[in-house]
Structure formats: C-alpha cells, structure tokens
Chains A and B, each alone.
Chain A
C-alpha cells in the first residue's frame, strides 16, 4: 500500500478500548483521504440525526495521501464530525505539523467515539497509545495546556481545545502548534463534549512512495511553479493573507459594521502592508510549506511576539466592528487562540451583537457590566471576547454564535450567516459567484469551500467580471470540486493559486502509483461534494437553507464601488442545481449519484 499508512486508530472514550484496523485501500482511493475519506468513514458509522454533543457522535482526525510526503504544504489534517453550530457535516482543516506527525506515528486517521467520564487526553507514540487523565489541563488556555503537554511529551506535536471547547461554545476551534486552528464549525466543542482535552502525537515512520524519483521530479516542478507565481512566490510570503484588506476594500466588498457597509476609508491601518512594516517579526510556515503565509508578530501588549492575524481575523475585529486598530486585532487574535475560538464566528457574533444593540434589541440592562456593545467601542472587543469564551454573564449568550443570539431576540436576519455559520470577509453583493458559493456551501457560510474571490477579484486564474452571472454556476461547481480534492489530498488550498488539477493528479499518482487524470480527480471531488450533501439532507438541512441573509438579497449596498448591488441568487441557484445534475429542488438525482459511483 503506497502513500497511506494503511492503519486507522479507534479510541473509545466510554469503554477505554484502543484498537487499530486496516484501511480499506479501495475505499481510500475512491474518496482520496482527508475531507473525502473522513466524511465517508463518518457517514458509514454515524446516524446523521445524531446530537453533535451525544456520546454516539464520533470525531475523526484524518490526514491525506500527500500529508507527510515531500509535496509542498503536505502537513495538513481534517477534523470531521457533525457540526454543533450548523447541524451539517463539519470538516475543519488545519496546518502546522500535527497532520504530518499523525502519519509519522503510523496512522491515516483516528476515530474517537464515546465520552470519557472525566477529562482525558490521548497520547500516541506509534503503537503505544494511551488515554491519560487531563484534570490538570482542564480549564487551561491552549498555550498553557500545550506547554504542560510538551513538558510531558517533549517530542510530540500537540492538538488541544481551550475553555471555549470545554464549555461547548458552538464556535469552538481545535488548536495545534499553539496558533494553528481547525477553526470553523465548532469542532472543538465536540471534543469538549467528550471530555477530550488534547491529542499528542509522535512517530518516525514514513509513508512508502510508489515512484520516489517521479515524485522528486513532480515536487520540484510544483515548487518551481509556486516560487515563480506572483502570489505564492511574492504577495503571500511578503505580506501574508492580510494583503487582502486593501484590495477587498477597494472593490467595495469589505464588510463594515456587521455588513451594513462595504467600504472603510480607514482600512489601511489594519492592512497587510501595515502589518508587515510595523508588526512583523518573521514568517511562520507550516510543515514543508514554501509559501509561508503565517505571521509571527509583535505588538505593545505582546512585545516578545505571537502568532499573527489572518485577513479574515483582521477584518472581523476591525471593519466588521467599526474599529481600525491593529493592536486590538492582534490581541483579539491571541485571545481567540487561547480560548480556542474560531476568530471569524467570534468576531462576527460581536458584530451581530453590536447591531442588535444599535437597534435596541440588546439593552444596557441585560449586559452585566457597563462596557457597551457598540460599534467603534475598542474597549468592548477583548472584554466581551473573554466573557464569550469563558461563558461569563452575557458572554454565555454570545458563546452560542450570532444566529442563535439574533434568533433569541426574534430577528435572525441580523445574523450574517448561512446555515448558522458566519460569513467571512467578502460582501456577496459585489461578487455574484461567491454569493452562490456561500449559499450552497456544504458547511454553511464559508470561503474555503470554493474561493470565487480568486477569479472575481484577484484575477486568478483569469479575471471574471464580478457582477456578471453568466458562467458563474460552472465556475462555482469546478471550484467546489477542486477544493474538495485539495482538502482530501492533505494539501493547503493556497497551492491552488499556482497549481492546477493536473499538477495535483501528477503528485498523487507518483505517491499512490495510480494513473488518475485531472478529470478523474475532479470527479472524486464531485463525489465528495455529493456525499456531504447527502449527509446534510439526512440530517434535515434542506435546500431551502441554500440561501443568504435577506440583507444581501433585498438591501442594495449603500456605498462604495459595489453601491446599488444585491446578490442575484434566485437567478443563479437553478442553474447551479442543473450544473450539478441535481433536480430543480436541489436534491442529487439517483442518476447522478450512480454516475459518481455513490449508489
């Protein structure tokens, strides 16, 4: 068996049993690995109607066939489970090194089931796997818990949750290497519900490569393409993802004040250029990554340096809250990592709370202190973030996320979310393809299920007119399917700024000894997309939820270069369903499922 380690680890926290089983190689090849295989394994074992916090729910940590190989960015892993935020399938992706080390320990995946009666962590050193007590770690912020675990297991890579996960916030992240996050969809809370604080992993095994010389050649070629590319060899290494602040703002799709506006004249203060000039200490790349978009930055409060904010984080703790203060963003990012909170949903929930306050739904009497939840109030950001992560006072309401908060006041329309997951940093009114992608994403509001910003704004691989509808459903489908492939291979999505489906096929073929064409790989991506959809339907997430908040469908953008536009979803959705080969109600047809080898 090439590429894969051929072994799945199963840990039952209720019974304490630890077993291994052989990977079904044919199944693995059909669903690639990572997001695809993880979803298939999950679907085969768990009832889609399961309560995400029940002991019957399972959580899978899975790498891909390219994880732990010499391929560029091959260090990633996926966390697959049912999302407590959305009720959809959750597969949340993280970089760093943990995913590669899971492979070096000899495993393609860990399936964790049941629920421990007291807090525990799992320690894996190749064949030695133990469930150990974690009472001393419970309640600790992520950096402290990680440091304690590194002291006990100096060689190991640490994955952990913070207080937000322990306290079952639907926005809780899984953190690894201190500042890398499987951030979205509340996967950290599923760990918390199982009393599982952390997983440490170490090993020295290596996957066997089918054609080592061929892989060397292809890897060299791909690394060359990444280096030569203006984005992956220039923009991203130099400025990080923060470089997007200005370009998104200048197109008038930089959401301000909970998406009430789309242009911020003061955005330069939190731009990638400012971050690089005034705060950057060094780059901080993930395992085997030649791009190195990660930042290590300093600020007044953190003079020795900490992990720096990504674009989404900069936007959500700046423009979306009516603030432009880099010091506050860096501090908020730090505390999200410590609490184990998804930065996007945490910030977006503060933004929704501020709009609810602005409109008189949240009142001063309800807030248990006098720090007002007002747009532009710098003091409110970290203050309410801490209360959210620790579920203190009104923070307990905030910890449920923007949708549940706004719904409590009877006005869910003020949650800028799709399927209860908050939208990221691009107003869909000015990017019609991205609008369609948001609405149809299998895990709710998300930009990394298909990054249409790439052609609509960044001109990659070519410039599409952003307000045009023509052809967009085709682009959305291809982007969604290719993203599913990259997420399943175990690579970083950012490689796709420089590489195409053919390069991914070349790499995986050398590793697995397969002869897949780019088309076959894309078909595997489509297969993955369809099984995710089937899970969601069986979980009760119906196509009526393939929509956007009314603000984007009915209220014209009031300002800036996107002024006057709404998202034209009603025109795009039927064309998208048709493109996918689904029926007009958005349900996959038997015929298409058979063609994809699912039925």
Chain B
C-alpha cells in the first residue's frame, strides 16, 4: 500500500507536486516530513487524511494505509 503526499507552493521546489510513499505500519506525518527534508517550523498547515489541526498535534497522527497528507508552507491572501 502507498500513501500520497501533496505538496504546495515552495515545498514543491525540488520535490514535485505529489510524492507517493510506501506505507509502513505506524507511519506518522513526522516520518513523512523527515523523509522529505521538511522541518516542522517550516510548515504552516498540515492535513492528514482530511483532518487539520495544530501542526505539532498533526505530526503525531498515524496515517491510514491508503491515506494522504497535504503540506503547506506559510501562505495567505484574501
């Protein structure tokens, strides 16, 4: 099984829009960002399987077998 990581804005530079990763039981968002070379302070919004929250909390969430992540650097507008 694989999980999908959707990257946005500057996180795409050198990584691409979407990264597929093999699913490993117990895998968390922290595992994913470590392997992508992204650090927690760089992240403004993190969505795991459709659920968002404070980044430090979301990093501990276990990802579903065929789950996905969406990771955003600081962005804004209006």
Contact = CB atoms under 8 A, between A and B. Distances in A.
Interface of A: 229-232, 234-236, 238-244, 246-247, 250-252, 268, 272-273, 293, 310-312, 447-448, 451, 453-454, 457-460, 463, 465-466, 493-494, 497, 560-561
Given A250-B6, A273-B8, A457-B45, A242 B77 contact: yes
A243 B52 contact: no
A447 B78 contact: yes
A293 B78 CA distance: 10
A230 B55 CA distance: 16
Given A272-B9, A458-B45, A459-B44, A251 B76 contact: no
Contact of A459 (B9, B10, B45, B77): B45
Interface in B48-78: 50-55, 70, 72-78
B2 to A, nearest CB: 19
A457 B17 CA distance: 21
B52 A561 contact: yes
Nearest to A240: B77
Nearest to A271: B8
A239 B76 contact: no
B9 to A, nearest CB: 6
B48 to A, nearest CB: 10
A243 B55 contact: no
B12 interface: yes
B5 interface: no
Nearest to A456: B52
A447 B52 CA distance: 22
Given A235-B9, A247-B45, A458-B44, A463 B77 contact: no
B3 interface: no
- A interface secondary structure, majority: helix
A241 B6 CA distance: 20
B29 interface: no
Contacts of B53: 463, 465
23 contacts: A231-B75, A235-B9, A235-B74, A235-B76, A236-B75, A243-B77, A244-B75, A244-B78, A246-B72, A247-B8, A247-B75, A250-B47, A272-B77, A310-B77, A312-B78, A454-B76, A458-B44, A459-B44, A459-B45, A459-B74, A465-B53, A465-B54, A561-B52
Given A241-B76, A460-B76, 15 more contacts: A230-B73, A231-B74, A231-B76, A234-B10, A239-B75, A242-B77, A247-B72, A250-B6, A250-B45, A250-B47, A273-B17, A459-B44, A463-B54, A463-B55, A494-B77
Interface of B: 6, 8-10, 12, 17, 44-45, 47, 50-55, 70, 72-78
Contacts of B72: 246-247, 250
Contacts of A250: 6, 8, 45, 47, 70, 72
Contact of B75 (A235, A268, A310, A493): A235
A234 B74 CA distance: 8
A273 B11 CA distance: 11
A238 B75 CA distance: 10
